[in-house]
Amino acid sequence: MKRVHMKIKALMLALLVFSGTLPAPVQAIIARAEEPVKISYQAFNNPTAWSDKQADDSLYTAPEGTYMTGFQAELLNQPQNIAGGLAYQVEVGGTGWTEWTAGSVMAGRTEGDAPVTAFRARLTDGLSSLYDVCYTVQQNGAWTPWVRNDEGTAGQEGSGLKITGIRMTIVTKGAAIPGEKAAVQGIDPNRPMIALTFDDGPHAPVTNRILDSLEANGGRATFFMVGNRVTGKANKAAVARMAALGCEVANHTYEHKAITKLGAEGIKSQLARANDSIRLAGGVSPVLMRPPGGAKSDAAMKTVGSMGMSAVLWSIDTLDWKTKNKQKTIDAVIGHVKDGDIVLMHDLYGTTADAAEVIIPKLKEMGFQLVTVSELASYRGGIQPGKVYSRFRP
């Protein structure tokens, strides 16, 4: 009898949700109980072809010398009991705005060389009361401010400037946009900045000590994580905390395999599986990767670039994995670091946390801003898919 009553209650609840009589906060709780609603999108670039489908919150940049002329997108994991969809439109240079388009239908064109110059998107019906679609585009070498729903336009309308990149995400109604954290926390482009990076984690006992020090000193770092280590409650919570603090979650392959020893499909599998693990834990899909051991090749980088990702090496190697010595790790950084450096450490060892707890406040005292790799790159010439970076000098 108890099971019958439970089934009746479930049916009544479903009817209330379907009819829209439940308050929006209750509907949101129900929606969040399922897989998170996400977006997948792709661009047609003149004169090449359609890009690969991009995961939610992925930063996509068109291959060098190309630009967007067409666009299409679709929603993933939409709750069956919530009506609505995703609509979008583009301004095509010389012809104006297209009609609002939905359901994986292209906006823009695949023929001719007229560029997409501005972009808008919105959610409709019940979805619009539970979620926001947020987006930014790359135009004239810079990323535009984030736009939420159709409250504005990404790109300079009527300017004729070409869009060469796009990034989109779905968030719960009113939630913070992951990509806005840098702007909220503030960076002074006229002051020196460096990027601390940590490989091979997460390892919660060490990772959280590093995060404690970053949080206490108003700093951020980039964590290049091995996908198969993003397991267990504690490690997943550490990844979620990274993202919440504005740190950058990044990819170090799924099994710490040298990409130079893998074919294209093997590389794609390692990166995609790691991205999935990290996104499910932290809510953000990485756009940067670090090849294990720093091993790279032209062929491997071509594959990395085809996934819209860039490779990041380092300019200062602390060798903390080898020495496992607090003072040697400190000495490798303090007195050697310069504006624009990328510092390599590993959040697997207690001695690295010991050193980081000294290094982080000391660098702040020395006048350095502790930023993520992507933040550093954004003020020092940008970053392109398939390219390799080890520092970003002023």
Pairing of strands 369-370, 193-199: parallel
Residue written as token pair 């994986």? 104
Listed in sequence order, the residues at least 6 apart from 322 whose beta carbon sits closer than 8 Å to its beta carbon are none
Active-site residue flag, 203: no
What does residue 352 show for φ and ψ, rounded to 5 degrees? Answer: -70, -40
DSSP bridge partners of 138? 143, 165
In angstroms, the CA 58 to CA 23 distance is: 32
In angstroms, the CA 62 to CA 45 distance is: 7
Active-site residue flag, 200: no
In angstroms, the CA 62 to CA 44 distance is: 9
In angstroms, the CA 296 to CA 310 distance is: 12
| Active-site residue (options: 132, 252, 341, 346) | 346
Count other C-beta atoms under 10 Å from residue 22's C-beta: 16
| Active-site residue (options: 56, 57, 132, 199) | 199
In angstroms, the CA 241 to CA 304 distance is: 27
In angstroms, the CA 339 to CA 195 distance is: 9
Listed in sequence order, the residues at least 6 apart from 320 whose beta carbon sits closer than 8 Å to its beta carbon are 328, 329, 332, 345, 346, 349, 351, 352, 355
- Catalytic residues, by residue number, are 199, 346
